[in-house]
């Protein structure tokens, strides 16, 4: 059984063909800078059985990226009979209250997912269009949706509840939902495996820092107990085009002064804020980091981003009563030692002490960059949401039966 995993980020599309149940990767790829304002060139990096190639091509949206990826896969299949897929597995960010766990895609499921667009306006419409495309184009291929939110169902009420009118909150299901759960769960498991520790006895802070979305998660004994994102992915860290935490009063004032509708205000917060709003010339923090030496706005953007991450790491270290493990993952967390150093500097008070030489020399795989002075192990762990999605989809298929 080969599973084709499709993982949409706000500005990327990762895909992977995984042979199950072995979990063996056959094909992997990533489309970068999809549909965003950026100085960099849109491209797809495609790898088959370890053999890599790149394709630079305009990627105006995620459907265009998917079509290019499917063309590359078709080329590979023409010369290698093992390159095929029997099952689609999609990452879907926010299912609302419709689905607590993975679900097989049907017309009825699509109808419910279409109602979730306002909950994650950057991600859900993108993912939905790809699921619908695959459902129409490949009607004989089974599909499963795996949700970013499932891991966070264990967040306790004192962290999940908002201080709103109780009846209104209950009526509309307004509570902290949490996101990036697939990634946080994967790096939790991998870090404990790397350190030969029982994950059910660990206190972990996971920093998923991507070029699109980003979040920090507090994990105790294998369960998520808090996440920087909230009812939607808008809450929390400053992201590429999302504002993150903001005084609601500032939003109301902006709406009043600019005469904005709620839909227009939502677009400002989700699509025109964050790195793009502050730096302005790009929504990509990597571009701001390149310009920090000579561009004041670039330096301010970087400092704001780091300050948000540090705030959540310190808060979660407090509620965990010091973390056993601090994890950096995803493209920014893995790729930029200066970002990791800036987050960890002067954090000895909460037991976090980075070894700057180890941090600077890290290249690939799982790396330990802690000085061990404070007891918290600081790890760089490349995430693999696609493997986790393939596992969840395959597990759901086995539960429902191969003939379903």
User: How do residues 175-194 score in pLDDT, each as one tens digit?
Assistant: 999 999 999 999 999 999 99
- 41: its two tokens: 């060139």
Q: What is the pLDDT of residues 388-397, one digit of tens each?
A: 999 999 999 9
- 349: its two tokens: 């008070």
Query: Which residue's entry shows tokens 């991998």?
Result: 190
Query: Which residue's entry shows tokens 């200066």?
Result: 338
Is there a contact between 332 and 384 (Cβ–Cβ < 8 Å)? no
Which fold does the domain 2-152 belong to in CATH? Nucleotidyltransferase; domain 5 (3.30.420)
pLDDT > 70? residue 21: yes
Question: Which residues are within 8 A (CB) of 23 and not within 5 positions of it... i.e. 6 or more apart?
Answer: 387, 390, 391
pLDDT at residue 121 in the model:
85
Mean pLDDT over 277-297 rounds to 94
**In angstroms, rounded to a whole number, what is the distance separating the alpha carbons of residues 243 and 236?**
8
The beta-carbon contacts of 72-78 under 8 Å, at least 24 apart in sequence, are: 72/29, 72/44, 72/46, 73/4, 73/17, 73/27, 76/27, 76/48
Question: Which residues are within 8 A (CB) of 47 and not within 5 positions of it... i.e. 6 or more apart?
Answer: 27, 28, 29, 53
pLDDT at residue 396 in the model:
92
pLDDT > 80? residue 373: no
pLDDT at residue 377 in the model:
97
Mean pLDDT across the chain = 93
Q: What is the pLDDT of residues 150-166, one digit of tens each?
A: 999 999 999 999 999 99
Q: What beta strand segments (E) does 66-196 contain?
A: 87-92, 103-104, 142-147
CATH code linked to domain 195-380: 3.30.420.40
From the CB of residue 199, how many other CB atoms can be counted at a distance below 10 Å? 19
* Burial class of residue 279, CB neighbours in 10 A (0-12, 13-18, 19+): buried
pLDDT at residue 402 in the model:
60
Q: What is the pLDDT of residues 201-234, one digit of tens each?
A: 999 999 999 988 999 999 999 999 999 999 999 9
Coil vs helix vs strand at 310: helix
Q: What is the pLDDT of residues 97-126, one digit of tens each?
A: 888 889 999 999 999 999 999 888 888 998
- Verify cis geometry, omega within 30 degrees of 0, for the bond prior to 21: yes
Mean pLDDT over 59-65 rounds to 83
- 63: its two tokens: 């459907």
pLDDT > 90? residue 304: yes
Nearest to 301 by CA among 239, 255, 246: 239
pLDDT at residue 58 in the model:
81
Is there a contact between 216 and 239 (Cβ–Cβ < 8 Å)? no
pLDDT at residue 119 in the model:
86
* Burial class of residue 74, CB neighbours in 10 A (0-12, 13-18, 19+): exposed
pLDDT at residue 183 in the model:
96
Coil vs helix vs strand at 72: helix
Where does the pLDDT of residue 355 fall: very low under 50, low under 70, confident under 90, or very high at 90 and above? very high
Is there a contact between 54 and 45 (Cβ–Cβ < 8 Å)? yes
Nearest to 134 by CA among 212, 81, 69: 69
Nearest to 177 by CA among 213, 146, 149: 149
pLDDT at residue 29 in the model:
93
Active site residues: 148
**In angstroms, rounded to a whole number, what is the distance separating the alpha carbons of residues 63 and 44?**
13
Is there a contact between 350 and 318 (Cβ–Cβ < 8 Å)? yes
Decide which of 158 and 129 is more confident. 158
Q: Which residues of 100-111 are buried (b: 16+ CB within 10 A; e: fewer)?
A: eebbebeeebee
Helix (H) or strand (E) holding 27: strand 24-32
From the CB of residue 123, how many other CB atoms can be counted at a distance below 10 Å? 26
Mean pLDDT over 333-339 rounds to 97
**In angstroms, rounded to a whole number, what is the distance separating the alpha carbons of residues 267 and 254?**
13
> CATH 3.30.420.40 region(s) of the chain?
2-152, 195-380
**In angstroms, rounded to a whole number, what is the distance separating the alpha carbons of residues 23 and 7?**
17
Residue 4 phi, psi dihedral angles, 5° rounding: -95, 110
pLDDT > 80? residue 400: no
Where does the pLDDT of residue 54 fall: very low under 50, low under 70, confident under 90, or very high at 90 and above? confident
What length is written for the chain? Answer: 404
């Amino acid at each position: 059984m080969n599973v084709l995993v499709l993982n949409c980020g706000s500005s990327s599309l990762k895909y992977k063909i995984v042979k199950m149940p072995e979990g063996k990767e056959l094909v992997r790829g990533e489309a970068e800078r999809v549909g965003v304002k950026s100085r960099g060139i849109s491209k797809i990096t495609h790898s088959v059985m370890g053999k890599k190639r790149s394709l630079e091509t305009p990627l105006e949206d995620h459907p265009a990226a998917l079509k290019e990826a499917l063309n590359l896969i078709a080329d590979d299949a023409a010369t290698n009979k093992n390159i095929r897929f029997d099952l689609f597995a999609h990452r879907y960010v926010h299912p609302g209250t419709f689905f607590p766990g993975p679900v097989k895609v049907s017309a009825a499921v699509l109808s419910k997912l279409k109602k979730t667009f306002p909950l994650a306006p950057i991600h859900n419409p993108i993912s939905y269009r790809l699921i619908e495309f695959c459902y129409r184009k490949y009607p004989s291929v089974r599909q499963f949706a795996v949700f970013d939110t499932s891991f966070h169902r264990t967040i306790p009420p004192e962290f999940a509840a908002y201080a709103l009118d109780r009846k209104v909150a209950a009526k509309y299901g307004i509570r902290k939902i949490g996101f990036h759960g697939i990634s946080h769960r994967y790096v939790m498991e991998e870090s404990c495996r790397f350190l030969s520790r029982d994950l059910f006895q660990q206190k972990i802070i996971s920093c998923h820092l991507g070029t699109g979305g980003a979040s920090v998660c507090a994990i105790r004994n294998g369960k998520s107990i808090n996440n920087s994102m909230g009812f939607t992915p808008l809450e929390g860290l400053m992201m590429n085009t999302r504002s993150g935490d903001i005084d609601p009063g500032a939003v109301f004032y902006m709406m009043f002064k600019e005469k904005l509708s709620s839909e227009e205000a939502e677009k400002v917060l989700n699509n025109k804020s964050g790195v793009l709003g502050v730096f302005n010339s790009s929504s990509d923090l990597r571009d701001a980091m390149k310009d920090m030496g000579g561009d004041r706005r670039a330096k301010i953007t970087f400092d704001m981003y780091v300050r948000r991450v540090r705030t959540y790491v310190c808060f979660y270290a407090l509620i965990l009563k010091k973390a056993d493990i601090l994890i950096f993952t995803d493209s920014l967390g893995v790729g930029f030692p200066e970002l990791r150093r800036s987050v960890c500097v002067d954090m000895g008070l909460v037991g976090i002490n980075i070894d700057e030489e180890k941090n600077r020399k890290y290249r690939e795989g799982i790396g330990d960059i802690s000085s061990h002075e404070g007891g918290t192990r600081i790890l760089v762990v490349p995430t693999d949401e696609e493997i986790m999605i393939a596992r969840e989809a395959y597990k759901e298929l086995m539960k429902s039966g191969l003939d379903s």
